[in-house]
């Protein structure tokens, strides 16, 4: 054995250890769940690696997890004969946790001890839960396929440092010895430990073994006996599974203590045989917006765990779904490359997506409260399906929900079918408006003529909505039309109030304003959509649009030069009073443009210039302020 070397934990690890020791008092028993889960994963990884290198089994093919305890020494030991770790892997996985989301874990703590405890596994910091009960921890490990002298011993009392040294270890795998704090003697009870294993780890297919008991302590010379059922829950008949068993298994998959919103358990037989068990959570996970973090579906082949993060089994827009797929047809030596080009996987994925979408359709029709919960938690992510999943485009579109001008709040509750059922008799299009937020959308000048004629408009305020409407151009043979793009033909809504002759009277003013604004605008024209505001900005039919331009710039993307069209309202007092030969028409043109930009949430490039112009125009309009630039009105 080499001389031990002492190292310091990362700052974030020290903060985490402090939380484990001093703050998270609720559900301390989960430390055993986490250690058994890690041990089971280590055995699964060995079994998978041994498919291509049988020597890794070292003539010991029976994979097990053992839990032992000693009342006299106040220790609990969890050991496995799985893949084990090298010294470098111990440093990477135990000494540091750069990939474990520690910072996000700390930020996500709510003060609710029960909820916070369940975050431990969710954030991948499960090993450190031992310090909720441990006074000192010793970890001994050896990587399968290495020499006995290449073992590693790691020790720490959780105070901020740990020691490392090489050791001789005949058995591959990992052994963790926990010296309990004096206040945690409840865990030195065989029946208590068995209850915890039954509660959290009964489904693990590997045998979890404990020594025979003599009362509440290990029997001297007693045999090892399996204490978990070890049967895959998803492989059992649905009729034999209780709601509580479904929920408990869901908790082991997701570390979510709240019951799932809905459960889909299916067995497919025929040319392709597989079982799927999917859960739709009732609450969004902390990493919902991280498209690269994919840990929703576990892939099994004939009850043997193959891999987690099986993104090939579920599209990104359904990344909140948790569950397992167990195939009877795939080979055991499945690789990620294999999954990318496999027809069976494609069929399983397609059928699974259809089942989930149909279940959501059922909730939307039969259990509205549940669907409202689903949409509030996952609606913005689900919308990505309009862009990603062309095959199910129509079904996804029917499940979308939106805010509209008929609402007082920003709750997305209206379906496209609801909207169509309320359309005016002559209305041909589904109208929508995209904006930064609900307030900006609700108060947009683009809505004035629609509000006047009681025409409902969808208010789209999620960034993804810009891409949704670019792929959803029509629904039920009704085109989707932006109220802020192109020239509106409102014959279907109202008779034109402005005759061609009346509009011609403003031709010279329009030309002068366009000349004053020059490169800032693509065009200037009389508006048919304004009733109360003097001006608004609209995009040409096929142009980018102001809202999408702001979104792209906010994420650092270069965008084509966007020049809006300025529409002016000839019935507004300011426009009616402006004269083409006014001395400060240039100032008025720029102020109208900037005000129109502000009304749709844009930031001015030269706010000081805007303020100066407004101040000069106000000063000129005051009594004694000099020559007037507009007539009295």
The two tokens of residue 534 are 């003097």
**119 Rama sector, left if φ>0, alpha if ψ -120 to 50, beta otherwise:** alpha
pLDDT digits 0-9 by tens, 164-195? 999 999 999 999 999 999 999 999 999 999 98
Closest by CA to 172, choosing from 53, 70, 3, is 53
Mean pLDDT within 364-368: 96
* CATH entry 3.60.40.10 includes domain 234-369: no
pLDDT in tens, 86-106: 999 998 877 544 344 445 545
The rounded distance, in Å, linking the Cα atoms of 481 and 468 is 13
Cα-trace Rg, the chain: 33
- Within the chain, all domains assigned CATH 1.20.120.790 are found at 500-621
pLDDT at 21: 63
Distances (CA, A) of 541 to 387, 417, 494, 545: 21, 25, 21, 9
Instruction: Output the pLDDT for position 118.
Output: 46
For the CA atoms of 240, 244, 249, 254, the dihedral, rounded to the nearest 10 degrees, stands at 150
Residues spanned by CATH 3.30.565.10 within the chain?
5-229
Looking at residue 312, its pLDDT comes to: 83
pLDDT in tens, 309-331: 667 889 999 999 999 999 988 87
Domain 400-484 has CATH 2.130.10.10: no
Q: State the pLDDT confidence band at 607, using cuts at 50, 70 and 90.
A: very high
Dihedral sign (CA 151, 37, 134, 12): positive
Q: Is the pLDDT of residue 563 over 60?
A: yes
User: Each residue of 194-224: pLDDT tens digit?
Assistant: 988 987 788 788 899 999 998 878 888 889 9
pLDDT surpassing 90 at residue 424 = no
Comparing 412 with 33, the larger pLDDT belongs to 412
Q: For domain 500-621, which architecture applies? A: Up-down Bundle (1.20)
pLDDT per residue over 372-401, tens digit each? 999 999 999 999 999 999 999 999 999 999
Q: What's the pLDDT at 181?
A: 92
Which of 96, 341, 85, 63 lies closest to 209, judged by CA? 63
pLDDT exceeds 90 at position 302? no
Give residue 287's pLDDT: 72
Where does 5-229 sit in CATH, by number? 3.30.565.10
Select the more confidently predicted residue: 603 or 135. Answer: 135
Query: Which range is least confidently modeled, 129-138, 304-313, 354-363, 397-406?
Result: 304-313
Question: Tokens 């009877």 correspond to what residue?
Answer: 328
Q: Where are the alpha helices (DSSP H) in 534-605?
A: 546-554, 573-577, 585-599
Per DSSP, the chain holds a count of helices (H) and strands (E) of 22, 24
Would you call 599 exposed, middle or buried from its count of C-beta atoms within 10 A (0-12, 13-18, 19+)? middle
Phi, psi (5° rounding) for residue 86? -85, 170
pLDDT at 289: 73
Give CATH 3.30.230.80 domain extents, the chain.
234-369
Vertex 156 angle, CA 154 and 160, to 5°:
125
pLDDT at position 301 is 83
Question: Strand, helix or coil at 334?
Answer: coil
Average pLDDT, the chain: 85
Residues 6+ apart with CB under 8 A from 440: 461, 600, 601
Q: pLDDT of 220-271, one tens digit each?
A: 888 999 999 877 889 889 999 999 989 988 988 887 888 999 999 999 998 8
Band the pLDDT of 593: cuts 50, 70, 90. Answer: very high
pLDDT digits (tens, 9 = 90+) for 34-91: 899 889 889 988 988 898 899 999 999 899 999 999 999 999 999 999 999 999 999 8
* pLDDT above 80 (res 542): no
Phi, psi dihedrals of residue 292, rounded to the nearest 5° = -85, -20
Which segment of 41-50, 250-259, 467-476, 554-563 scores lowest on mean pLDDT? Answer: 554-563
Among 480, 444, 460, 472, residue whose Cα is nearest residue 402: 460
Structure tokens at 119: 């975050």
Q: Which residues contact 26 (CB under 8 A, 6 or more apart)?
A: 113, 114, 116, 117
123 pLDDT more than 50: no
Residues of the chain with CATH 3.40.50.11260: 400-484
Give the highest mean pLDDT range of 14-28, 130-144, 490-504: 130-144
Percentage above 90 pLDDT, the chain: 50
Return the H-helix or E-strand segment holding 501: helix 500-504
Quote the pTM value.
0.71
């Amino acid at each position: 054995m080499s001389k031990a070397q002492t190292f310091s934990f990362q700052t974030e690890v020290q903060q985490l250890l402090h939380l484990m020791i001093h703050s998270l008092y609720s559900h301390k028993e989960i430390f055993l769940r986490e250690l058994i889960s890690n041990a089971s994963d280590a055995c699964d990884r060995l079994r998978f690696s041994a498919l291509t290198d049988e020597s890794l089994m070292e003539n010991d093919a029976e994979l097990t997890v053992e839990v032992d305890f000693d009342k006299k020494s106040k220790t609990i030991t969890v050991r496995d004969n799985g893949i084990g770790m090298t010294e470098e892997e111990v440093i990477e996985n135990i000494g540091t946790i750069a990939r474990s989301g520690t910072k996000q874990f700390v930020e996500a703590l709510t003060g609710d001890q029960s909820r916070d405890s369940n975050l431990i596994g969710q954030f991948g910091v499960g090993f450190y839960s031992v310090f909720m009960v441990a006074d000192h921890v010793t970890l001994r490990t050896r990587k399968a396929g290495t020499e006995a002298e290449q073992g590693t011993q790691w020790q720490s009392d959780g105070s901020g440092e740990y020691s490392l040294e090489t050791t001789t270890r005949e058995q591959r795998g990992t052994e963790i010895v926990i010296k309990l704090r004096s206040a945690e003697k409840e865990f030195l009870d065989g029946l208590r430990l068995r209850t915890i294993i039954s509660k959290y780890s009964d489904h693990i297919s590997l045998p979890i073994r404990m020594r025979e008991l003599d009362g509440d302590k290990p029997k001297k010379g007693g045999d090892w006996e399996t204490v978990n059922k070890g049967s895959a829950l998803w492989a059992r008949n649905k009729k034999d599974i209780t709601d509580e068993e479904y929920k408990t298994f869901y908790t082991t998959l997701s570390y979510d203590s709240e019951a799932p919103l809905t459960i889909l358990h299916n067995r497919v037989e025929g040319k392709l045989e597989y079982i799927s068990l999917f859960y739709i959570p009732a609450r969004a996970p902390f990493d919902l917006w991280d498209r690269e973090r994919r840990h929703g579906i576990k892939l099994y082949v004939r009850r043997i765990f193959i891999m987690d993060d099986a993104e090939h089994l579920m599209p990104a827009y359904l990344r909140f779904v948790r569950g397992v797929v167990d195939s009877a047809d795939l080979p055991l030596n499945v690789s990620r490359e294999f999954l990318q080009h496999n027809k069976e996987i494609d069929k399983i994925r397609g059928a699974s997506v259809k089942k989930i979408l149909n279940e959501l359709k059922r909730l939307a029709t039969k259990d509205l409260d549940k669907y409202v919960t689903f949409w509030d938690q996952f609606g913005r992510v689900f919308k990505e399906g309009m862009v990603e999943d062309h095959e199910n485009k129509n079904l996804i579109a029917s499940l979308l929900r939106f805010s509209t001008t008929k609402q007082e709040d920003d709750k997305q509750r209206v379906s496209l079918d609801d909207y169509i059922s309320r359309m005016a008799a002559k209305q041909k299009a589904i109208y929508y408006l995209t904006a930064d937020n609900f307030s900006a959308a609700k108060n947009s000048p683009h809505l004035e003529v629609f509000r006047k004629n009681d025409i409902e408009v969808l208010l789209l305020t999620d960034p993804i909505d810009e891409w949704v409407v670019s792929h959803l151009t029509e629904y039920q043979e009704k085109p989707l039309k932006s109220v802020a793009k192109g020239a509106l033909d409102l014959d279907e809504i109202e008779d034109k109030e402005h005759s061609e002759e009346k509009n011609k009277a403003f031709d010279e003013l329009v030309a002068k304003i366009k000349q004053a604004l020059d490169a800032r605008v693509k065009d200037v024209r009389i508006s048919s959509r304004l009733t109360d505001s003097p001006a608004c900005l609209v995009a040409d039919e096929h142009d980018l649009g102001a809202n999408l331009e702001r979104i792209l710039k906010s994420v650092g993307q270069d965008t084509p030069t966007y020049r809006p069209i300025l529409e002016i309202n000839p019935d507004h007092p300011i426009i009616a009073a402006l004269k083409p030969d006014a001395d400060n028409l240039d100032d008025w043109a720029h102020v109208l443009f900037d005000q129109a930009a502000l009304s749709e949430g844009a930031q001015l490039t030269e706010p000081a210039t805007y303020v100066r112009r407004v101040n000069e125009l106000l000063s000129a309009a005051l009594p004694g302020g000099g020559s007037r630039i507009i007539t009295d009105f």
